Amino acid sequence: QSGPVIDMPVPASFNDITQDPSLENYIGWVWYEKEVLLPLRWLQGDPAPRVVLRFGSAHYYSIVWVNGVQVVEHEGGHLPFEADISSVVQGSPGTLCRITVALNNTLTPHTLPPGSIQYMTDKTRYPKNYFVQNIRFDFFNYAGIHRPVVLYTTPAAYIDDITVTTTSSDSVAMVQYQVSVVGSTANSLSLNLRDQEGKVVATGDGPVGELKVLNPNLWWPYLMHENPGYLYSLEVRMQAQVGGALLEDVYTLPVGIRTVYVTSTQFLINGRPFYFHGVNKHEDADIRGKGLDWPLIVKDFNLLRWLGANSFRTSHYPYAEEIMDLCDAYGIVVIDESPGVGIKLPESFGNKSLQHHLAVMEELIRRDKNRPSVVMWSVANEPASELPPAAHYFKTVIAHTKALDPSRPVTFVTDANYALDHGAPYVDVICVNSYLSWYHDPGHLEVIPLQLTAQFENWYKTYQKPIIQSEYGADSVPGLHSDPPLMFSEEYQKAMLREYHAVFDKKRKEYVIGELIWNFADFMTNQGTTRVLGNKKGIFTRQRQPKAAAFVLRDRYWKIANESSCLPPVITSHSLFL
């Protein structure tokens, strides 16, 4: 017995698609179903190909059946999962293949992000069995199949995973590789590394090795080099004997040659100091919610480059692979963040939560480890890191992350007091969020210089690690004006930014290595008395139109880029993007 059956686009969040208010805030199970006809060649042969069903992501807990047979279960709303469905589909060629997905968006103290279900038991005030989903994070808990669902095939023996790391000096780079093959022990591997013209610059063979590249084109961030985001192509070719048949699998991986190194005062990319002047984002837009949308993605990258932003953090969950691909190609630097947001309750620091967090970091690193744009992992945002169990929790998560990927620094983003933070001893870079003259001393812009200077000096004195201002900002309702500046006006947002920037300019001469505005664009949140159709801290509206603050930030970012770059100055205040 099912409820009403309606059409639902994929990828999309289901919340904003209909006129049904109960679906907007729905908590619980929903079901998706689709029938497809598989090509006959997928189902024949000896050995027959391997048929795989892959989900880019689905929020939050998924169970998937094919032709009524359960093929995979997955917890977590922001990372891919897949199932080998060969044995289910190969027995019935020519018949429709039915794919069924049950999806549950309930959050508990042990999910990532955590939440809790609260039953309202006062029968004089609430209907029977009435409950609400409580969350401790400030964005709407959109749900649905958010990223593409694909069917693909491989040979019965196939390339399962590739890991690439790079080192470089002025005239030579080394590309270390490791390839794992599944389905055959008797196989051979050959590798070709091609430049952007398609010319082979290095070759290798076997599952582990090193490729030597002479006079390499390094992967540079946007605005740090005239040819940012340079990518080679690593073509990996496997041949294997399986049951008397010769099978071949080929995979091509984009490779950027770059190094990352952190000192007590600097963040170095390819040995040169890098200053993060960027944004925090959300996967969020009208109607589609968190659903992948190509026009929106390309618009956002055009806005980032117009702004002179060289970086962003994937606040507060891993973003779509399609977005990450463009970061690699355009040279946009990424702090890659796990969905560890809203870890506030003591029970969310227990062993059950910890084990899931470790598994999520494994999934995230497996997905994004080869991306040159990803220069640092962030394991959490604004956890209750002043609680005593946070010490063991973050020591463990960070050590696990570094064991999985020794090549990148690791951080988490804090809003705790510097003297009480139990997680900060374990990070490589201090990332601090503060909303001076907004959540603290609202309306008092004059306290920012003193308080922000003290914030930086206290953190640096305690840890001697470089610092990123990972969030700061103010809500502004577009079109609301006030002079002198009052809260929620576009003028107040501009004035707050300028106060922060004056302090950044002093401290970036010392140990502040970055500033990320909150937020790139307005986004939807739960309803609340301080949220007027969502969070209005964007420098762009939710429809991606600039507020006054966008021009302030743009002037600043281009100025910083022109100061620190070997590129000739290319921009004046409001000229078009080149």
Q: Are residues 446 and 407 in the same domain?
A: yes
Three-class secondary structure of residue 146 per DSSP: coil
Check pLDDT > 50 for residue 463. Answer: yes
**What is the dihedral angle through the alpha carbons of 364, 83, 26, 535, rounded to the nearest 10 degrees?**
20
Residues 352 and 489 in one domain: yes
Angle between helix 321-330 and helix 294-307 axes, rounded to 10 deg: 30
* pLDDT of 3 over the 80 cut: no
Q: Cβ(325)–Cβ(148) under 8 Å?
A: no
* Active-site residue, 382 included: yes
- Considering the domain architecture, whether residues 308 and 355 belong to the same structural domain is answered as yes
Q: Are 327 and 232 part of one and the same domain?
A: no
The distance of Cα 461 from the centroid of its chain, to the nearest Å, equals 31
CA distance 372 to 377: 12
Domain boundary among 255, 284, 307: 255
Q: How many domains does the chain have?
A: 3
Confidence at residue 573, expressed as pLDDT on a 0 to 100 scale: 38
- Residue 6 falls within a domain, yes or no? no
pLDDT at 565: 62
pLDDT tens for each residue of 83-140: 999 999 998 878 899 999 999 999 999 999 999 999 999 999 999 999 999 999 999 9
Distance CA 51, CA 467 (A): 47
Clarify whether residues 212 and 287 are in a common domain. no
Average pLDDT over residues 502-508: 98
Within a domain: 443: yes
Neighbours of 567 (CB within 10 A): 13
User: Percent of the chain having pLDDT more than 90?
Assistant: 94
Is 571 within a domain? no
Instruction: Return the amino acid letter for 273.
Output: P
- Using 50, 70 and 90 to split pLDDT, how confident is the model at 1? low
Q: Last residue of some domain: 201, 236, 255?
A: 255
In what helix (H) or strand (E) does residue 454 lie, and over which residues does it extend?
helix 448-463
Residue tagged 């947001």 (tokens): 341
pLDDT digits (tens, 9 = 90+) for 149-180: 999 999 999 999 999 999 998 799 999 999 99
The residue among 270, 272, 200 whose CA lies nearest residue 232 is 200
Q: How far, in Å, CA of 462 to CA of 361, rounded?
A: 28
> How far apart (Å, rounded) are the C-alpha atoms in residues 115 and 564?
43
Taking 60 as the threshold, does the pLDDT of residue 189 lie above it? yes
> Domain range holding 220?
158-255
Look at residue 568 and tell me whether its pLDDT is greater than 70.
no
Query: Where is the domain boundary, 126, 154, 182?
Result: 154
* Of the candidates 392, 432, 394, 421, the residue with the CA atom closest to the CA atom of residue 410: 394
Structure confidence at residue 45 (pLDDT): 85
CA distance 190 to 236: 6
**pLDDT surpasses 80 at 567:** no
Q: What is the pLDDT of residues 22-73, one digit of tens each?
A: 999 999 999 999 999 999 999 988 889 999 999 999 999 999 999 999 999 9
Percent of residues, the chain, with pLDDT higher than 70: 97
Specify if 5 maps to a domain: no
CA 246 to chain centre: 39
97-104 and 29-36 beta bridge pairing: antiparallel
* Average pLDDT estimate for 306-310: 98
Q: Are residues 313 and 459 in the same domain?
A: yes
What CA–CA distance (Å, rounded) separates 158 from 161? 9
Q: What is the CATH number of the domain that holds 393?
A: 3.20.20.80
Same-domain pairing of 315 and 412? yes
Q: Per the domain annotation, does 364 fall within a domain?
A: yes
Q: Is the dihedral of CA 427, 430, 431, 433 positive or negative?
A: positive
Domain assignment present for 13? no
SS3 at position 365: helix
**In the block, residue with structure tokens 């692979």:** 321
Is the pLDDT score of 382 beyond 50?
A: yes
How are strands ordered across the β-sheet holding 158-168?
Answer: 158-168, 172-182, 208-214
Q: Within this chain, do residues 128 and 163 fall inside the same structural domain, yes or no?
A: no
- Measured CA to CA in angstroms, residue 476 lies from 336, 402, 439 at distances of 27, 39, 14
**Is there a single domain that holds both residue 114 and residue 141?**
yes
User: What is the predicted pLDDT for the residue at 564?
Assistant: 78
- Residue 578 binned pLDDT confidence (cut-offs 50, 70, 90): very low
Selection from 528, 80, 546, 510 nearest residue 279 by Cα: 546
Residues 251 and 298 placed together within one structural domain of the fold: no
Using alpha carbons, select from 338, 334, 184, 344 the residue that is nearest to residue 260. 334
CATH of the domain at 51: 2.60.120.260
> Is residue 124 domain-resident?
yes
Give pLDDT, residue 235. Answer: 98
**Mean pLDDT estimate for the chain:** 95
| pLDDT above 90: residue 536 | yes
Residues 265 and 249 in one domain: no
pLDDT value at 539 more than 50: yes
Is the pLDDT assigned to residue 566 strictly greater than 60? no
* 326: in domain: yes
Give the start-end residues of each E strand in 266-385.
267-269, 272-273, 276-280, 311-313, 333-337, 374-381
DSSP 42: G
Compute the average pLDDT of residues 485-493: 98
- 71 vs 68: CA distance, rounded Å: 9
Residue 232: which of 302, 173, 189, 311 has the closest Cα?
173
Confidence check: pLDDT of 199 > 80: yes
Mean pLDDT to the nearest integer, 498-521: 98
What single-letter amino acid sits at 479? Answer: G
User: Which of 382, 490, 491, 515 does the annotation list as catalytic?
Assistant: 382
Residues 139 and 216 in one domain: no
The DSSP code for 144 is B
